[in-house]
Structures are given as structure tokens and as C-alpha cells.
Amino acid sequence: MLLDPSFYRRDNVVTVARELLGKALFTKVDGKITAGMIVETEAYSSVERGCHAYDNRMTDRNKVMFNDGGLAYVYLCYGIHHLFNVVTNATGKADAVLVRALEPLEGVGHMKKRMAVEGEARITSGPGKLSKALGIDRQLNGETLWSRQLWLEDIGQNPGNGRIVRSRRVGIDYAGKDAALPWRFTIKGNNWISK
DNA sequence: TACGTGATCACG
DNA sequence: GTGATCACGTAA
């Protein structure tokens, strides 16, 4: 079942990050449908230093975050990797959830071809890898999450609280003390979590 | 541990 | 205009 816009438009981005675990992310790029179940997320909010929109600083890159929830925020990191985020909250409240890892569900052959790998490679176990595997790049920046090319579904796989692990976010040492916030969520024991 | 890679951001 | 930086991934 397609996720409703109201799912994204709540004011607590940390709650949305937790509830995105077990949901499915679909793309249809170049006519190829690919999908994976979300197993790792991180919350980012304009009130803390880890966020591109900290202190409501709006730039060309991050302006999508200031829209109503339910849009994709995709940007290029380290000149190589496209990172996919879910914009949440209301207009003017620049919050987002970084999707960091998926368990493949559909179109695995297409994904492996895009990754140029064969066999049992872990093709979606990281934010840069999953974007490449699903064909996500900045052309999808600003798309709604109920569009023809990109959408999210509830597939009845929501993990209970006992299967969710909270930890600090990865790769944001620049955020000072905010780097310690326990805003990363993973599904306990899942094989597809990033390193 | 080292570094590729190029858009972005804060300078002024 | 310019230079430092970066929500990563891979090789070693």
C-alpha cells in the first residue's frame, strides 16, 4: 500500500526515521522496476549541526528540504555518490531522513547490472550503493514519493520495538556534540546494514 | 589507513 | 573567482 503524504508530514523526524524501517522503496528508471526494504535510516533536523539545513540555512542544494514532507532530497557526496533522503515535516521545517541501507526485494538482476557485480554481492548495503543500484541520482531531487519513477509502500513488514536498534549517526564528526545523538535506526540482525 | 572525485559553500 | 570540505566506498 502506497504511503500517504501524511506519513511524511509529521513534525518528529526521529519518529518518521524509525517508522521507515520495514517500508519498501521502489524506483522505475529506464523502464526497470527495482525495490528494497529499508533496514537502516538516520534522522536530520534543522535544529542540530549534522543537518545541511542547520539553523535554517537554505542553499541551492538543500532548498528541497524546506518543502512540505514527502519529497526526495538527493545530492552528490564526495563527487561520486548520490545520497537519497526523505523530506519530512511541514513547509519551512527543514527535516529529512537519510536512507542508508535496503534489503533487495525486486529487480535484483537490474541492480547487479548497474553495480557491475555478480553473485551474492551486498549491492544495497550503504547509502551510495543503494542509490546506484536503484538508479537514483539528482534528476530525482524534488520528486514526490508517490511519483511514477519513485515511491514508497507499506509492505506489512514493520519491525516491532524489540527488533529496532538505535545508535549514533555515521560520518558526521563535523557536527560536534550533535554527532552523539542516537538518531540512527537499524533492524536488529539484518544482513544488509552498512558497515 | 589513504584517497578518488566534483559539486557546493563561505569567503569577500 | 578560489579553496576547503564532504551524511561514501574500496582497496590495502
Our CA angle for A132, A85, A87, nearest 5°, is 150
CA of A78 to C1' of B4 (A): 9
What pLDDT sits at residue A86?
98
Our CA angle for A55, A89, A14, nearest 5°, is 80
DSSP-assigned states of every residue in A164-179 = EEEEPPSS-GGGGGGG
Which nucleotides of strand C lie within 7 A of protein CB? Answer: 5-10
User: Which nucleotide lies nearest residue A57, CA to C1'?
Assistant: B9
What pLDDT sits at residue A76?
97
User: Which nucleotide lies nearest residue A169, CA to C1'?
Assistant: C7
pLDDT tens sequence across A64-95: 999 999 999 999 999 999 999 999 999 999 99
pTM of the model: 0.97
Check if the beta carbon of residue A113 is closer than 8 Å to that of residue A123: no
What is the DSSP secondary structure assignment for residue A4, as one 8-state letter? P
What pLDDT sits at residue A120?
87
Cβ neighbours of residue A10 closer than 8 Å, sequence gap 6 or more: A16, A69, A88, A89
Task: Specify the DSSP element, H or E, that contains A100.
Answer: strand A95-106
pLDDT at A115 over 90: yes
What pLDDT sits at residue A70?
98
Instruction: Give CA–CA dist A15/A19, Å, rounded.
Output: 6
What pLDDT sits at residue A135?
98
Mean of pLDDT values over A100-116: 98
CA of A117 to C1' of B10 (A): 40
What is the DSSP secondary structure assignment for residue A143, as one 8-state letter? -
Which nucleotides of strand B lie within 7 A of protein CB? Answer: 4-10
From A38, A40, A41, A33, select the one nearest A108 (Cα to Cα): A33
User: Which nucleotide lies nearest residue A75, CA to C1'?
Assistant: B7
Q: Could you check: is the Cβ of residue A95 within 7 Å of any atom of nucleic acid strand C?
A: no
CA of A25 to C1' of C6 (A): 26
**Sequence-ordered alpha helix ranges (H) in A42-147:** 108-115, 127-134
Q: Chain-wide mean pLDDT for chain A?
A: 97
pLDDT tens sequence across A171-186: 999 999 999 999 999 9
CA of A13 to C1' of B1 (A): 35
pLDDT tens sequence across A20-71: 999 999 999 999 999 999 999 999 999 999 999 999 999 999 999 999 999 9
